Chains A and B, each alone.
Chain A
Amino acid sequence: MGEGGHGARSVGMCCALPNQALPALPRSGTWNHLFTTLLSWFWLPQPCSLPGGMEALEEREEVEETAEDAISMNISDSLDDLREVVEEASATSGEPDFDWSSIDTSHLPSSYKTNSQQEKELLQLADHFFQQYTHLCPERKPLFIHPLNECGVQKFVSTTVRPTLLPFPDLYYWSGCASFVCDYLIMEPLKCPITPPSSLYSPTTILKYQRGNCFDFSVLLCSLLIGAGYDAYCVHGYATLEMCSLDQTQELCPLLRKPPEVPEEEDPNKYIIKYPLEPQSKFELQQKAKEEEETEPVQEEEKEEEEKEEEVVTEVGMPKRDPLHGLRVHAWVLVLPGKRKVPETFFINPFTGNHHSTRDECFLGIESIWNHRNYWVNMQDCSKGCKPEKGEIDMSFEMPLSWVTRIRVSCREYENPFSRGKKVILYDKAKLEKWAAYANGDGLVERLTVYADSERTEELEVKEWFKHREDLLYMREVNKQTQLITDHFRPGHPLLLKAHSYTSLEPETGHTVEFYHTARVDGLWKRFENATEMTEYFIGREDFLHMRHIEFGEREKEMENAGITADANPRPIVQIKEYFHRNPEKPADEDIEERVFMVIDDVIQLTYHLELHDTIASKVVFCRVIGREKREDEIFLSRENTVKYEPWSSEKHKNMLHLYDLLWELRAEQKELKHHVRDAEAEMLNILMVREDEEANIKLSVSMYSTAKRGQQQEATELEEEQKSSQSSLKDESQHMGGEAESVAHHTATNSTV
Chain B
Amino acid sequence: MSQFVSNIEPNIIDDEMVQKAIEENCPEDLGDLARREIINWKVVKELQLSFKSILQIDNLWPLENLTKLQLDNNVIEKIEGLQSLVHLVWLDLSFNNIEVIEGLDTLVKLQDLSLYSNRISKIEHMDTLQELQIFSIGKNNLTILEDVVCLRRLKSLRTLNLSGNPFCREEHYTLFVVAHLPNLVYLDFKLVRDSTRKVAALKYRDLTKPLEQEEARVLALQETQEAKQKELEYHQTAFVEYLNGSFLFDSLYEEDREAAKLAFLPGVEDLLQAYKEEFVSVCGNLFNYGLEEYEKREAEVSKFYKRYHEILAVNQEESKRIISDFESRNQRRLDELYQAGSGDLAECEGAQGKEEIRQLWDALMTLEALVSSDLEELLQDFKRSIDVVASTFTESIQGIFNQCRDLENEHHKKLMKIVIATQEKLDMDPFDDSLPEDVQRLFEDKKTIVNIINMAHSVRLRKIDKRESDMLCNIYQWQISETEKAFQTENDRNRACIGKILCFINTLQKELDNSDPEA
Binding site for B on A (CB under 8 A): 270-275, 610, 612-617, 630-633, 635-639, 641, 646-648, 651-652, 655-658, 660
Q: Assuming the A-B contacts A613-B496, A648-B503, A648-B504, are A657 and B314 also in contact, with contact meaning beta carbons closer than 8 angstroms in the complex?
A: no
Contact in complex: B370, A635 (CB < 8 Å)? no
Is the C-beta of B190 less than 8 angstroms from some C-beta in chain A?
Answer: no
In the bound complex, CA of A632 to CA of B507 (Å):
10
Chain B hits for A274, CB < 8 A: 370
Residues of B within 8 A of A610 (CB): 316, 320
Q: Is the CB of B370 within 8 A of A655?
A: no
Q: Is the CB of B31 within 8 A of A271?
A: no
Q: Is the CB of B311 within 8 A of A271?
A: yes
Pick from B22-30, B261-269, B282-290 the stretch touching chain A.
B22-30
| Residue in contact with B315 in the complex, picked from A270, A615, A648, CB distance below 8 Å | A615
| Cα distance A656–B43 in the bound complex, in angstroms | 10
A616 near B319: Cβ-Cβ < 8 Å: yes
**Cα–Cα distance between A631 and B497 once the two chains are bound (Å):** 25
Which of A274, A615, A632: most chain B CB closer than 10 A? Answer: A615
Q: Smallest CB-CB separation from B45: which chain A residue?
A: A657
The 17 sampled A-B contact pairs (Cβ below 8 Å) are A270-B310, A271-B307, A271-B314, A272-B314, A273-B314, A273-B371, A612-B309, A613-B493, A614-B500, A633-B510, A635-B34, A636-B33, A638-B31, A647-B507, A651-B42, A655-B38, A660-B30
Q: Are A660 and B323 in contact (CB under 8 A)?
A: no
Which residues of B sit under 8 angstroms from A273, Cβ to Cβ?
314-315, 318, 367, 370-371
Contact partners of B323 in chain A: CB under 8 A: 616
**Residue A656 contacts which of B30, B374, B510, B514 (CB distance < 8 angstroms)?**
B30
Q: Of all chain A residues, which has the CB nearest B370? A: A273
B486 to chain A, nearest CB (A): 13
Q: Which residue of B26, B29, B496, B507 contacts A633 across the interface (Cβ within 8 Å)?
A: B507
Q: Are A616 and B501 in contact (CB under 8 A)?
A: yes
Q: Knowing that A615-B501, A637-B30 touch, tell me 18 more A-B residue pairs with CB under 8 angstroms.
A: A271-B310, A271-B311, A273-B370, A274-B370, A613-B497, A614-B316, A615-B320, A616-B501, A633-B510, A635-B33, A646-B504, A646-B507, A651-B40, A655-B43, A656-B38, A657-B30, A658-B43, A660-B34
Other-chain residue from A615, A632, A646, A651 in contact with B43 (beta carbon distance below 8 A): A651
Knowing A612-B309, A612-B312, say if A656 contacts B319 (CB, 8 Å).
no
Given A636-B33, A637-B31, A638-B30, verify A655-B40 contact (CB < 8 Å): yes
Chain B residues contacting A631 (CB-CB under 8 Å) are 514
Are B31 and A639 in touch, CB under 8 angstroms? Answer: yes
* A612 and B316 contacting across the interface, CB-CB below 8 Å: yes
Contact A275 B366 (CB under 8 A): yes
Report chain A residues within 8 Å CB of B370: 273-275
Residues on A with C-beta less than 8 A from B43 are: 651-652, 655, 657-658
CB contacts under 8 Å to A, within B473-501, are 493, 496-497, 499-501
B37 interface residue per 8 A CB criterion: yes
B504 A657 Cβ-Cβ under 8 A: no
Residues of B within 8 A of A613 (CB): 312, 493, 496-497
- Complex CA gap A578/B242 in Å reads 57
Task: Report the bound CA distance from A646 to B510 in whole Å.
Answer: 12
Whether B5 is near chain A, meaning CB under 8 Å from some CB there, is no
CB distance from A627 to the nearest CB of B (A): 14
Docked Cα-Cα span, A656 to B27, in Å, equals 11
Task: Tell me if B207 counts as interface (CB < 8 A to partner A).
Answer: no
**A658 to B27, alpha carbons, bound, how many Å?**
11
Q: B311: which A residues are within 8 A, CB to CB?
A: 271
Answer whether residue B17 sits at the interface, using C-beta atoms and an 8 A cutoff.
Answer: no
* Complex-state Cα separation, A636 to B99, whole angstroms: 47
Interface residues of B (CB under 8 A from A): 26-27, 29-31, 33-35, 37-38, 40, 42-44, 307, 309-316, 318-320, 323, 364, 366-368, 370-371, 374, 493, 496-497, 499-501, 503-504, 506-507, 510, 514
Residues of B within 8 A of A639 (CB): 31
- Which 5 A-B pairs rank lowest in CB-CB distance, beginning with the nearest? A638-B31, A615-B319, A655-B43, A636-B33, A613-B493
Enumerate chain B residues within 8 angstroms of A638, measured Cβ to Cβ.
Answer: 29-31, 34
A657/B38 in contact, CB under 8 A: yes
B381 smallest CB distance to A (angstroms)? 13
Taking each of B37, B310, B314, B320, which has the highest tally of chain A beta carbons within 10 Å of its own beta carbon? B37
Q: How far is the CA of A630 from the CA of B36 in the complex (A)?
A: 15
Nearest opposing residue in chain B for A272, CB measure = B314
The residues of A that contact B315 with a CB separation of less than 8 Å are 273, 615
Q: Which residue of A lies closest to B497 (CB)?
A: A615
Q: Select from chain B the residue with minimum beta-carbon distance to A639.
A: B31
- Across-interface contacts of A612 in B (CB, < 8 A): 309, 312-313, 316
Q: Contact between A635 and B316 (Cβ–Cβ < 8 Å)?
A: no
Q: Which residue of A lies closest to B39 (CB)?
A: A656
How distant is the Cα of A646 from the Cα of B500 in the complex, in angstroms?
10
**B307 neighbours in A (Cβ, 8 Å):** 271
Find chain A residues with CB under 8 A from B42 CB: 651
Q: What is the distance, in angstroms, from A210's C-beta to the closest C-beta of chain B?
A: 64
Whole-angstrom CA separation of A656 from B318 in the bound complex: 33
Which of A610, A612, A646 is packed against the most chain B CB atoms within 10 Å?
A: A612
Interchain CB contact (< 8 A) of B510 among A614, A616, A632, A648 = A632
Complex: A272 Cα to B367 Cα, angstroms: 11
Which residues of B lie under 8 Å from residue A656 when comparing CB positions? 30, 34-35, 37-38
A630 nearest in chain B by CB position: B33
B20 to nearest A CB, angstroms?
16
Chain A residues whose CB sits within 8 angstroms of the CB of B312 once the complex forms: 612-613
**Which of B312, B503, B506 has the most C-beta atoms of chain A within 10 angstroms of its own C-beta?**
B312
CA distance A615 to B34 in the complex (A): 30
A637 contacts B504, C-beta separation under 8 Å: no
Partner of A636, one of B31, B314, B503: B31
Complex CA–CA separation, A617 to B314 (angstroms): 15
Q: Complex formed: what's the CA distance from A274 to B318 in Å? A: 11
**Residue with the greatest number of chain A CB neighbours at <10 A, chosen from B313, B316, B320, B374:** B316
Nearest-Cβ distance from residue A37 to partner chain B, whole angstroms: 71
Contact among A615, A630, A636, A651 with B500 in the assembled complex (CB-CB below 8 Å): A615
Measured between beta carbons, the chain B residues less than 8 angstroms from A652 are 43
**Contact yes or no, B30 A616, CB < 8 A:** no
Which residues of A have CB within 8 Å of B26? 657
- Closest chain A residue to B310, Cβ basis: A271
* A637 and B371 contacting across the interface, CB-CB below 8 Å: no
Inter-chain CA distance A658–B374, complex, in Å, is 40
- Which B residues lie within 8 Å of A614 (CB)? 316, 496-497, 500
Using Cβ atoms and an 8 Å threshold, which residues of chain B touch A617? 320
What CA separation (Å) do A638 and B307 show in the bound complex? 48
Closest residue on chain B to residue A613 by CB atoms: B493
Q: How far is the CA of A635 from the CA of B39 in the complex (A)?
A: 14
A270 to B314, CA, bound (A): 9
Docked complex Cα distance between A647 and B507 (Å) = 8
A273-B315, A612-B316, A651-B40 given; A636·B504 CB < 8 A: no
A271 to B317, CA, bound (A): 12
Q: Who on chain B is nearest to A647 by CB?
A: B503
Nearest Cβ distance between residue A343 and chain B, in whole angstroms?
40
Q: In the complex, what's the smallest C-beta–C-beta distance from A564 to chain B, in angstroms?
A: 34
For A651, what are the chain B residues with a Cβ–Cβ distance below 8 Å? 40, 42-43
Q: B residues within 8 A CB of A271? A: 307, 310-311, 314, 374
Q: Which of B34, B323, B368, B504 has the most CB of A within 10 A?
A: B34
CA distance A655 to B41 in the complex (A): 10
Bound: A576/B272 CA distance, A: 84
Cα A639 to Cα B497 with chains together (Å): 36
Q: Which residues of B contact A646 (CB under 8 A)?
A: 503-504, 507
CA distance A639 to B33 in the complex (A): 9
Distance in angstroms between the alpha carbons of A161 and B425 in the assembled complex:
106
Q: A648: which B residues are within 8 A, CB to CB? A: 499-500, 503-504
B488–chain A nearest beta-carbon distance, Å: 13
Q: How far is the CB of B321 from chain A (nearest CB, A)?
A: 11
Which residue of chain B has its CB nearest to the CB of A655?
Answer: B43
What is the chain B residue whose CB lies nearest that of A267?
B310
CA distance A612 to B37 in the complex (A): 32
B316, A636: Cβ atoms closer than 8 Å? no
